[in-house]
Structure 1
Amino acid sequence: MLRLFKPTVALLALALLGGCAGPAKNLDYTAFKAARPHSILVLPPVNESPDVTATYSMMSQVTFPLAEAGYYVMPVALVDETFKQNGLNNAAEISQVPAAKLRSIFGADAALYVKVTDYGTKYMVLSSATIVTASASLVDLKTGTTLWTGLASASSEEGQNNSGGGIIGMLITAAVKQIINSSTDAGYPIAGLTSARLLSAGHPNALLYGPRSPKYGTD
């Protein structure tokens, strides 16, 4: 079952304040402004990390930032079940379904393609960090045109100070964190931060505000 992401204002603020939030170059919004999609179909994220939980961890958390940006998001659980009922269980295979076919089935204006490249805890001798990195592309299902692309990353070590306790203390702390992170899905909350950075509107190179936002048409 997909877990529900319950973000707070503080969490969203933290997500947007730091870390990687996409390329520095300015994006071309010409096609996006011409299409102005109202509804978005989120496809199951393609997982390129070793962690098998990455796809559903990310998929369960993308609805909130998209809805906050002003879009109607097709219910992700229903979308996932629809694909399974039609024999599509692999995210990579689903991403190859033609745009016209997706539109005929779901009726959405655009589809969001997500790729997870990092997910999980990495042990780095003196520290242990949980990192989630993902990229996304928004595609117009009427024309197949790519309207927007983005990249974001978040880490459990952001803002941490590991200098206390010397080398031995740092080694012990890293080892303990590794054990804890390996026994739980430590990537889940970090994936929430990554999702917020990746899909929130109102910052450079971000998604444009959708029609349900009071800021629609101002960007």
Structure 2
Amino acid sequence: MKNFLKLAAAALAVLVLSGCATKPPVPYDYTEYKLSNPKSILVLPPVNKTPEVRAPYSMLAQVTLPLAESGYYVLPVSLVDETLKENGVTQAQDAHELPSAKLREIFGADAALYITMTKYGTVYQVLDSNTTVTAQARLVDLKTDKVLWTGSATASTAEQQNQNQGGLAGMLITAIVKQIVGTVTDQSHPMAGLTSRRLLSAGRFQGLLFGPRSPHYNKEADKPR
């Protein structure tokens, strides 16, 4: 009897875990986003939480394209960065802490995009070496200071790799070569570009909505594709 109860409990636990694992993701609530209806976006210098000093500049150089293709006017990022520095704001964290009203007064944008870099670079492991870039973002209405959208994305060279069939020695050599190539050629930069597209291209599930300059504007469902 005790064994039967144990088996029944184990089976029940498996069913519960299976139910949790297959639960569909919750659609993003775009209520505030749609009420705000931003047309222009100010991209602030990304906050860097990685050891790589080039991480925020690599991301900043590649965010305009997906935002523009999504239908938004994007203030020139180099001009924004220079304007902040001329006004004594030299650190990204300080820029992120500026009041929304002040940012709107200076730049005249409808919304500001705050990006944080959490991973950037090539990491050597015992049997592998991958280049990974991860970023988080939030879009804030500069008139109301309300958060309109938050999201995150990541990209890694591991996505394009096939399983190594050369045995342990071959795997070790491959990992070392990948580490050297990743360091010398800066594979992180194209991964940052892929991350920015995944993060900021409209039409993705839980992603940004299409802006007024897009032919898809106001034609999308409440849950982006």
The code of the aligned residue for 1:117 comes to T
Instruction: Give me the whole-angstrom Cα distance separating, in 1, the residues matched to 2:166 and 2:216.
Output: 49
- Using the size of structure 2 for normalisation, the TM-score is 0.85
Specify the alignment match of 1:10 in structure 2.
Answer: none
Deviations 1:156-213 (A, max 9, x none): 1103113221111111011011112222322100000000000001121010000000
- How far is 1:87 from its partner? 1.2
Residue correspondences, number: 197
| Greater helix fraction, Structure 1 or Structure 2 | 2
Secondary structure (helix, strand or coil) at the match of 1:102 reads helix
Could you list the per-position Cα deviations for residues 82-110 of structure 1 after superposition, in whole angstroms to 9, with x for gaps in the alignment? 01111111111110000000000000000
Higher RCO (CA 8 Å, separation ≥ 6 residues): 1
Task: Give the partner amino acid of 2:147.
Answer: T
2:152 pairs with 1:145: no
Q: Provide the residue aligned with 1:25 in structure 2.
A: 26
Task: Provide the secondary structure at the position in 1 that maps to 2:155.
Answer: strand
SS of residue in 2 equivalent to 1:157? helix
Question: What is the 5 A alignment of 1:43-54?
Answer: 43-54=44-55
Asked if residue 117 in structure 1 is aligned to residue 126 in structure 2, the reply is no
Kept after mapping to 2: 8 A contact 1:39/1:109? yes
- Structure whose CA Rg is larger: 2
C-alpha distance in 2, partners of 1:174/1:134?
A: 25
- Give 3-state SS (helix, strand or coil) of 1:205's partner: coil
Partner of 1:15: none
Measure, in 2, the Cα distance between the counterparts of 1:177 and 1:24. Answer: 35
Structure 2 gap ranges (5+): 1-23, 221-225
Measure, in 1, the Cα distance between the counterparts of 2:25 and 2:93: 28
Determine the structure 1 residue equivalent to 2:184.
183
Q: What's the offset of the Cα at 1:36? A: 0.5
2:159 aligned partner, one-letter code: E
Does 2:80 correspond to 1:79? yes
The Cα RMSD (Å) is 1.2
Indicate the residue corresponding to 1:213 in structure 2: 214
C-alpha contact (below 8 Å) 1:162/1:170 kept by paired residues: no
The answer for unaligned runs of 5 or more in structure 1 is 1-22
